[in-house]
Amino acid sequence: MHSPETPTPPSLPRHRPLLDPAAEYGRWVRERPLARISLWGDVHPWLVTRQEDARAVLSDPRFSSENVRPGFPGLQPTPPPRTPGQLFAMDAPDHTRLRRMLIPEFTFRRVEQLRPAIGKITEELLDGLTEREQPADLVEHFTLPLPLLVICELLGVPYTDRDFIHRQAAAFATVSAGPEAMRAGWGALFGYLQKLLEAKSGAPGEDLMSKLAAERVATGEATSAEAAGMLVQLLIAGHETTASMLSLGVIALLRHPDQLAALRADEGLVPNAVEELLRYLTVVHIGLRRIATEDVELGGVAVRAGEGVVVALQAANRDPAVFADPDTLDLTRDAGQHLAFGHGLHHCLGQSLARAELQIALPMLFRRLPGLRLTGPAAEELAFEGRAVHGVRELPVAW
What is the C-alpha to C-alpha distance for residues 384 and 387, in angstroms, rounded to an integer?
6
Residue 318 inside a domain? The answer is yes
Residue 147 inside a domain? The answer is yes
Residue 8 inside a domain? The answer is no
Cβ proximity of 14 and 37 under 8 Å:
no
**Average pLDDT, integer, range 174-203:** 90
Task: Please tell me the predicted confidence (pLDDT) of residue 15.
Answer: 85
Q: What are phi and psi of 296, to 5 degrees?
A: -135, 140
Task: Please tell me the predicted confidence (pLDDT) of residue 252.
Answer: 98
Overall domain count for the chain? 1
Residue 18 inside a domain? The answer is no
Residue 181 inside a domain? The answer is yes
Bond prior to 135 in cis (omega within 30° of 0): yes
At 323 the three-state DSSP class reads coil
Return the CATH number at 32.
1.10.630.10
Tens digits of per-residue pLDDT, 15-58?
A: 899 999 999 999 999 999 999 999 888 889 999 999 999 999 99
- The chain-wide mean pLDDT, for the chain, equals 94
Cβ proximity of 179 and 233 under 8 Å:
no
Residue 213 inside a domain? The answer is yes
Task: Please tell me the predicted confidence (pLDDT) of residue 5.
Answer: 45
Tens digits of per-residue pLDDT, 65-106?
A: 999 899 999 888 876 667 899 999 999 999 999 999 999 999
Task: Please tell me the predicted confidence (pLDDT) of residue 108.
Answer: 93
Task: Please tell me the predicted confidence (pLDDT) of residue 4.
Answer: 39
Among 10, 111, 64, which residue's Cα sits nearest to residue 292?
A: 64
Q: What are phi and psi of 86, to 5 degrees?
A: -80, 90
Asked if pLDDT for residue 3 goes beyond 50, the answer is no
Q: Kindly state the DSSP code that residue 289 receives in the 8-state scheme.
A: E
What number of other Cβ atoms are within 10 A of residue 370's Cβ? 8
Residue 119 inside a domain? The answer is yes
Residue 148 inside a domain? The answer is yes
Long-range pairs for 131-135 at CB < 8 Å and ≥24 separation?
134/375, 134/397, 134/398, 134/399, 135/375, 135/376, 135/396, 135/397, 135/398
What is the C-alpha to C-alpha distance for residues 17 and 24, in angstroms, rounded to an integer?
11
Tens digits of per-residue pLDDT, 277-310?
A: 999 999 998 899 999 999 999 999 999 999 999 9
The residue segments making up the domain with residue 253 are 23-398
pTM over 0.85: yes
Task: Please tell me the predicted confidence (pLDDT) of residue 248.
Answer: 98
Tens digits of per-residue pLDDT, 235-271?
A: 999 999 999 999 999 999 999 999 999 999 999 999 9
